[in-house]
Amino acid sequence: MPKALQPHPDRALPAGEARDVARRIHASTKDLPLLCLHGHVDIGLFATDAPFGNPAELLVVPDHYVTRMLISQGISPDRLGLPRRDGTAPADPRDVWREFCANWHLFLGTPSRYWLEHEFAEVLGVTTHPSAEAADELYDQISARIAEPEFRPRALLDRFGIELISTTDAATDDLAQHAKLAADLPGRVVPTFRPDALVHLDRPGWSVLASRLGELANVDTATYDGFLAAIRQRRQAFVEAGARATDHGHYSAAAIPLTDAEAARIYTSALKGDVSAEDANAFAGHMLYQSAVMSAEDGLVMQLHPGVLRDHDPAIHAAYGPDQGHDIPVATEFTRSLRPLLERFGHAAGFRLVLFTVDETVYSRELAPLAGVYPAVRLGAPWWFLDSPDGMRRFRELVTETAGFYNMSGFVDDTRAFLSIPARHDLARRIDAGYLANLVVQHRLDEDDAFQVAKDLAYNLARDTYLS
């Protein structure tokens, strides 16, 4: 008999004396609307509002948390349906789904398991655990469910209680889909400005993007000055489309300005296809600083998440493209790296910098001390591998004592997996309820304060950080 899947009402809440307090706190936050102000859901999903394809495409193939775990046990990306760049036909979705179901035990103890159980039970109406035996029945059941009109993406926005969601869009995106959507669903889905591809001059195809930027902005990007002007123009277009923030994924947090002459020299060299790795790195750090300059002008919240060696396995990257789970964190430094930026903008009115990390060692050593003194700095929610029950608990324990609660940015779900958004917010609210409840039963926080802080962490701080 298949094992019944029924997420426990107290899941991820603490045991013992704190449970009751945590239940009450969670009850007070669980129905607050969702602000999803840092995410990677494809804008096309909302623009077309087409039904989702099939269970494998919905829950397995695009979720690198899921595929990386299956790959780690020797299941090839091909058997998981990852599309090859060479156009080889991917595996049959039903076979992919069977592979996933047969390996359901691999996710024990991981956040993917919590999110998926939540999605199965509370979104898709699935009542048994995946298994080799149950795979086909689940496939058919989920297929039927996602064909229903109330499972269209826009309908789910309402069902999920999403007040506002932002996508992440290349600086060279023309925002046409956002324009269409703004007409249909005004003020519900906004873009985020991501200039990463434009500021890393040594990546293949960069000069094409630089040209594309110039065309879009109607500015000649053959010079560094033109490049800056074009970026400013695109930021303005994003602002007009409702954007609240920029998003920067860099290898390091270095935000060190160059002289204009030096920046121009490197830019010009890159246009000729002749740029050293050192120069390209220096230019990227310079552009991070320039992003702060521009944010101080136009008010876009600057979000930085450094410290990941992308595409660690070149063969996987060559065969399947970027972001296939072979991104591995490295030690990251913030104190010295951000000093020039904070020296100039750390106390600047209206400038806000949200810092993320996948290196926990900086929580108490660098991030909390920075956020705990510079008005510009807020700490983003635990990112990526750390967006997990113990990861979120450690984050609170490591930053709160130095930075307090009010230098946090609030929760962001940071996901491409649209169906997981309510699960992620719910899990975060549970962990915060548990953290606060533990403080209450240890008489380190009064219960009335705990309720207020819980609401602030779940909703008010995100509003304050991104929408005030």
- By CB under 8 A, the residues from 1 to 40 that bind a copy of itself are 8, 10-18
What residues numbered 288-327 form the site for a copy of itself, per CB under 8 A?
309, 312-315, 325-327
Applying CB under 8 A, among 124, 386, 461, 462 the residue interacting with a copy of itself is 386
- Interaction of residue 89 with a copy of itself, rule CB under 8 A: no
Distance CA(356)–CA(181), nearest Å, equals 29
- Interaction of residue 342 with a copy of itself, rule CB under 8 A: yes
When the beta carbons of 18 and 428 are compared against a copy of itself, the nearer one is 18
Cβ of residue 189: shortest distance to a copy of itself, in angstroms? 30
When the beta carbons of 274 and 448 are compared against a copy of itself, the nearer one is 448
Task: Work out whether strand 34-36 and strand 353-355 pair parallel, antiparallel, or are unpaired.
Answer: unpaired
Tokens standing for residue 124 = 């898709």
* Cβ within 8 Å of residue 150, ≥6 positions away: 156, 159
When the beta carbons of 207 and 335 are compared against a copy of itself, the nearer one is 335
- Interaction of residue 339 with a copy of itself, rule CB under 8 A: yes
Q: Are 244 and 192 in contact (CB under 8 A)?
A: yes
Applying CB under 8 A, among 84, 335, 455, 460 the residue interacting with a copy of itself is 335
Cβ of residue 330: shortest distance to a copy of itself, in angstroms? 5
Cβ of residue 19: shortest distance to a copy of itself, in angstroms? 9
DSSP state of 272: T
What is the torsional sign of CA 257, 263, 267, 273? negative
- Interaction of residue 409 with a copy of itself, rule CB under 8 A: no
Applying CB under 8 A, among 59, 138, 266, 371 the residue interacting with a copy of itself is 371
When the beta carbons of 127 and 361 are compared against a copy of itself, the nearer one is 361
DSSP state of 16: T
Cβ of residue 275: shortest distance to a copy of itself, in angstroms? 22
- Interaction of residue 272 with a copy of itself, rule CB under 8 A: no
Distance CA(315)–CA(317), nearest Å, equals 5
When the beta carbons of 89 and 108 are compared against a copy of itself, the nearer one is 108
Q: Are 379 and 353 in contact (CB under 8 A)?
A: no
Cβ of residue 68: shortest distance to a copy of itself, in angstroms? 4
Distance CA(219)–CA(233), nearest Å, equals 9
Distance CA(73)–CA(304), nearest Å, equals 32
Nearest partner of 184 among 157, 215, 222, 210, judged by Cα: 157
- Interaction of residue 391 with a copy of itself, rule CB under 8 A: yes
When the beta carbons of 169 and 432 are compared against a copy of itself, the nearer one is 432
What residues numbered 58-87 form the site for a copy of itself, per CB under 8 A?
68-69, 71-74
Applying CB under 8 A, among 195, 285, 346, 380 the residue interacting with a copy of itself is 346
What residues numbered 135-154 form the site for a copy of itself, per CB under 8 A?
none
- Interaction of residue 432 with a copy of itself, rule CB under 8 A: no
Applying CB under 8 A, among 106, 185, 229, 264 the residue interacting with a copy of itself is 106
DSSP state of 299: -
Nearest partner of 21 among 454, 357, 436, judged by Cα: 436
When the beta carbons of 16 and 149 are compared against a copy of itself, the nearer one is 16
Left (φ > 0), alpha (ψ -120 to 50) or beta: where does 258 sit?
beta
Cβ of residue 454: shortest distance to a copy of itself, in angstroms? 12
Distance CA(303)–CA(454), nearest Å, equals 23
Tokens standing for residue 90 = 């991917």
CA distances to 96, 163, 366, 407 from 76, rounded to whole Å, are: 11, 39, 39, 43
